[in-house]
Amino acid sequence: MERGLTLHVEVFPDPSGVVRALANRIVKAAEEAVARSGRFALAISGGATPEPLFDLLGDSYYPKLPWTKTDLFWVDERAVAPDDPRSNFGAARRRMAPVFQADAARIHRIRGEADLPEHAADEYERELHRFFGKAPPGESKTFDLLLLGIGPDGHTASLFPGSPALEERTRWVRAVPAASRDPRVARITLTLPAIDAAREVAFLVTGADKSRVVRRILFEHGPDPAPWPAARVRPQGPLRWYLDRAAAGEPPR
Ligand code: 6PG
């Protein structure tokens, strides 16, 4: 019997409305997490879509979040150095600078510059198990909130259609070879078990180029397993889609 899925879909007129709604959810999730366990474990995605969200979190929303109790993680990273323009860590650091001036121990980056992506994946796997293994008894042993994007091919994090990493059932982190799409570099990615263990998952999707895959996943797809990796995300807790009208395939008003 498949576990039930709590699905929420919210559509906003434009990207700024989507980003603000998600920023408000992040604030609320942080309050809930700190009240529950004294800390907030947030995993963020890469790519261009979340950049306006990072701008908010590093500026007007910065005072609203308990950064001294927040541990920041990444859902994936490119196999590049942190100062490489393709680095997800570097992109977040540029846009959320004040967050990175706080306690460095709370920033859990994936070492994209490691000699082999597999070594970076092993390190990050150990880091996650060390961090969540210390969770207070009975407390969530994973992310309180995990943010994902989606590509037009339905990939999420760095789980691409047909990738063997999609079939991973035990490891939380895997290295994957260079993507067949830009940036064409090897990646390190959370796996479905790690994503599904999250207390809550939020997809942030904007732009008409995503509307076809969003509609197929949310409204049309048939029996599992879906060909789109994003459709296979089944978190323990709520799964929320934050969309603008373009990504929802709705004509601009
Ligand atoms: C990455 C992301 C990736 C991203 C999608 C969408 O490392 O690139 O984790 O999964 O979310 O590719 O990217 P855009 O937001 O740039 O469209």
Task: Return the percentage of the chain with pLDDT > 90, whole number.
Answer: 84
Task: Express each pLDDT in 53-67 by its tens digit.
Answer: 999 999 999 999 999
Half-sphere exposure of 23 (CA within 13 A, CB side): 22
- Using most ligand atoms within 8 A of CB, pick from 45, 160, 184 the residue to mutate for ligand 1: 45
Q: Average the pLDDT over each of 30-44, 178-192, 211-225 and give the range with the smallest value.
A: 211-225
Confidence (pLDDT) at 1: 42
| Nearest of 60, 12, 68, 3 to residue 40 by alpha carbon | 68
Q: Which atom of ligand 1 is nearest to the CA of 187?
A: 7
Q: Which atom of ligand 1 is nearest to the CA of 75?
A: 9
Q: What is the mean pLDDT of residues 12-40?
A: 97
- Using most ligand atoms within 8 A of CB, pick from 18, 22, 44, 49 the residue to mutate for ligand 1: 49
Answer yes or no: is 1 within a domain: no
Task: Return the percentage of the chain with pLDDT > 70, whole number.
Answer: 94
Answer yes or no: is 154 within a domain: no
Sheet of 173-176: strand order equals 76-78, 187-190, 173-176
DSSP state, 186? Answer: -
Answer yes or no: is 252 within a domain: no
- pLDDT band, residue 172 (cuts 50/70/90): very high
- How far is the centre of ligand 1, averaged over its atoms, from the C-alpha of 83 (Å)? 18
Instruction: Name the residue range of residue 227's domain.
Output: 7-149+161-188+196-247
pLDDT at residue 114 is higher than 90: yes
Answer yes or no: is 34 within a domain: yes
- pLDDT band, residue 5 (cuts 50/70/90): confident
Distance between CA atoms of residues 206 and 103, nearest Å: 32
- How far is the centre of ligand 1, averaged over its atoms, from the C-alpha of 94 (Å)? 17
Atom 15 (ligand 1) nearest CA: 49
Distances from the Cα of 173 to the Cα of 103, 148, 155, 187, 206, angstroms: 24, 15, 16, 10, 27
Confidence (pLDDT) at 155: 97
Task: Express each pLDDT in 233-245 by its tens digit.
Answer: 999 889 999 999 9
- pLDDT band, residue 3 (cuts 50/70/90): low
Answer yes or no: is 182 within a domain: yes
Confidence (pLDDT) at 137: 63
pTM here? 0.95
Q: Which atom of ligand 1 is nearest to the CA of 50?
A: 15
**Ligand 1 residue neighbourhood (C-beta within 6 Å):** 45-49, 75-76, 88, 149-151, 155-158
Domain CATH number, residue 89: 3.40.50.1360
Answer yes or no: is 214 within a domain: yes
Write the burial class of residue 242 (CB in 10 Å: 0-12 exposed, 13-18 middle, 19+ buried): buried
Confidence (pLDDT) at 139: 61
Answer yes or no: is 156 within a domain: no
Domains: count for the chain: 1
Answer yes or no: is 236 within a domain: yes
* Token code pair at residue 80: 């590049």
